[in-house]
Each structure stands twice: as structure tokens, then as C-alpha cells.
Amino acid sequence: MLDYDLELQQHNLALRRAYAINATDQVLDIGCGTGQTTREAAQFASAGSVFGIDHSNEMIERAKRLTREAKLDNVEYVCADAGRYEPPRERFDVAISRFGTMFFADPVAAFVNLRNALRPDGRLLMMVWQSRDRNEWATSIEHALTPDDTAAIDALAVPPAFSLGDQNVVSRLLDSTGFTAPAFEEVHAPVFYGRDVEAAFDFVSGFSTVSGRLARLDAQERANAVARLRYLLVEHQRNDGVWFDSRAWIVTAHRR
Ligand SMILES: C[S@@+](CC[C@H](N)C(=O)[O-])C[C@H]1O[C@@H](n2cnc3c(N)ncnc32)[C@H](O)[C@@H]1O
């Protein structure tokens, strides 16, 4: 997911400003993926340690390799489902997550596990997407691919990526799993899709939402959709690459 790290370069700057991780902190990174945030947390917690969890073996193996290459010796990873796995209880000062907490099959179980892993008054800091309609990268690409379906898409249940976009939903989830009332900081920053249109086209073609949608079209519809997608990417090209608007929350709460 190195491209994902590039995609989120602006978001990551906001997160780095918000972490407030101390040198001796024990940090938990939920849904850590290939571990960019895990490794950065390990640099902040230079006399502490970081524990990354992800249920994708592929991601964890890559995270381990990148961590060895970075010569960090205060990082541990476990491949596990956050809804089923209980990390060591009351071990962590802070739990972080960059877009890793929206996809849980059982959010309540996962947040209870997370809460129990925190020390009393331990802190949760997670970045999540705001609602889909506030994220141009999602709406404009879907619209370019299947413009006639947009009304139907809008009426569908909330896609997992946006499951924590509603502040009321987040507040209720955190309240019911033992956290204090959360604070929400808006991060309004663009996502980066590539240095030029070709690179951006290759990148977005790899999204499962894009490939899935294209696969459902017949040959002529697919050719039209690809042409509209390329046009959209051209419209979003700036001097420094192809960018789409996005809005996220940094949510902070403490263990009750
Ligand atoms: C959008 S990616 C973010 C990855 C990483 N935090 C980053 O910013 O690069 C979401 C991650 O959450 C992980 N994930 C989703 N559901 C999970 C679960 N139930 N338990 C553990 N990890 C999960 C996925 O495997 C994926 O790596």
C-alpha cells in the first residue's frame, strides 16, 4: 500500500500534528495495514513501543519487512481480526488508527477490545472519512463510471468506508463501548491519485469499487465509462499531480 501512503500524504501530516505521542508511550495501531503510521508512531515513542494489528496477512508481512528495513526494534505486529482478538489488557497509553476502524464486521466487539487494551484514561485517536456525499473522490468517480446509477447508489446503505462518517453514530458507538464523548477535528485535504493522468488511471483502476463496477458493464458501456473516468482525471490534474477533494474526521476520546 505504498501508493495509499502517497494518496494520504496530506492526511498524514494532519495526523502527525495530532498524535501527541510521548517518548515512553505504549501505542496500539488498529487496522495498521502496511504500517506507515505504526512506524511513525514508533519514532515518536522512541523509548516506548508500538503494536500493530491487521487481519490481512499480506499487509502484516509487508509491514514487518518495511519495519525491518527501517531498523525499528520497538514495533510488534499481529495478524488478527480486531473484533475477535483481545490485545494485552490495560497495556496501551494511546490507540491510533488511520482509516482502519470503519470496516469491522462487529464494531462493538472491536471497540470493546480496543477500550480494554487501553490504560485507565488511555486515549483513542482515529482518522475516519466523513460521509460519502462530502467526499468528492468517492462520488465523482462513481458518477463517472455509472452516471445512470448514481441515484440508486445514493439510496443504498452506507458503504463501509463511510460507516463512521456521522458524528452521532461515532458518539453512540464510543459511548456504548466505554469511551468518553469524542472530539471531532475536521481534516479537509485532497487525496493524491498520481503524478499524471496515466498514473492516476492505473491507481484508481486498482480500486475494488472501480474494477467491480467496470466488470458489470458490457463492452461498449465499459469503453464509455473508461473515457468518462479519464476525462474526470484530466479535470483534476494540477501542476503537481491529480488530486480529489476529501473530508475526514480526527476523532479523539478517552477510556472511561
Ligand atoms: C483503508 S486500510 C488502512 C490501513 C492503514 N491504517 C493505513 O493507513 O495505511 C484499512 C485496513 O483495516 C484492516 N481491517 C479491516 N477490518 C479489520 C478487522 N476486522 N481487523 C483488523 N484489521 C482490519 C484492513 O485489512 C486494512 O489494512
Q: Look at residue 3 in the predicted model and tell me its pLDDT.
A: 85
Looking at the structure of the chain, the number of domains it has is 1
How much is the pLDDT for 159?
85
Residue of minimum CA distance from atom 25 in ligand 1: 56
Q: Is the CB of 18 under 6 A from ligand 1?
A: no
Q: Which pLDDT value is given to residue 213?
A: 87
Contact (Cβ atoms closer than 8 angstroms) between residue 114 and residue 82: yes
**This prediction's pTM:** 0.95
99 ligand 1 Cβ < 6 A: yes
Mutate to test the pocket of ligand 1, among 59, 79, 103, 208 (most ligand atoms within 8 A of CB): 103
3-state secondary structure of 254: strand
Cell numbers that stand for 119 in this block: 490504560
| Per-residue pLDDT of the chain in tens (256 residues, 90 and over written 9) | 458 999 999 999 999 999 999 999 999 999 999 999 999 999 999 999 999 999 999 999 999 999 999 999 999 999 999 999 999 999 999 999 999 999 999 999 999 999 999 999 999 999 999 999 999 999 999 899 987 765 555 555 678 999 999 999 999 999 999 999 999 999 999 999 999 999 999 999 999 889 988 998 999 999 999 999 999 999 999 999 999 999 999 999 999 9
- 117 with 146: CB under 8 angstroms? no
**Cβ proximity of 94 and 27 under 8 Å:** yes
Q: How far apart are the first and last CA of the chain?
A: 34
Write the DSSP string, 116-176: HHEEEEEEEEEEEE--GGG-HHHHHHHHHH-GGGHHHHHHSPPPGGGTT-SHHHHHHHHHH
Ligand 1 center–CA 104 separation, angstroms: 9
Q: For position 236, which CATH number holds?
A: 3.40.50.150
Cα(225) to centroid of ligand 1, in Å? Answer: 29
Say yes or no: CB of residue 163 within 6 Å of ligand 1: no
- CA of 81 from ligand 1 middle (Å) equals 10
Range of the domain at 105: 2-254
DSSP designation for 240:
T
Cell of 121: 484514561
CA–centroid distance, residue 239 to ligand 1 (Å) = 32
Ligand 1 within 6 A of CB of 98? yes
DSSP state of 45: T
Q: Which atom of ligand 1 is nearest to the CA of 110?
A: 19
166 CA to centre of ligand 1 in angstroms: 19
Ligand 1 centroid–CA 25 distance in Å is 22
Task: Tell me what pLDDT residue 33 has.
Answer: 97
Q: Is the CB of 53 under 6 A from ligand 1?
A: yes
CA pair distance 136, 166, nearest whole angstrom:
17
Is 81 close to ligand 1, i.e. is its CB under 6 Å away? yes
Maximum CA pair distance of the chain?
A: 59
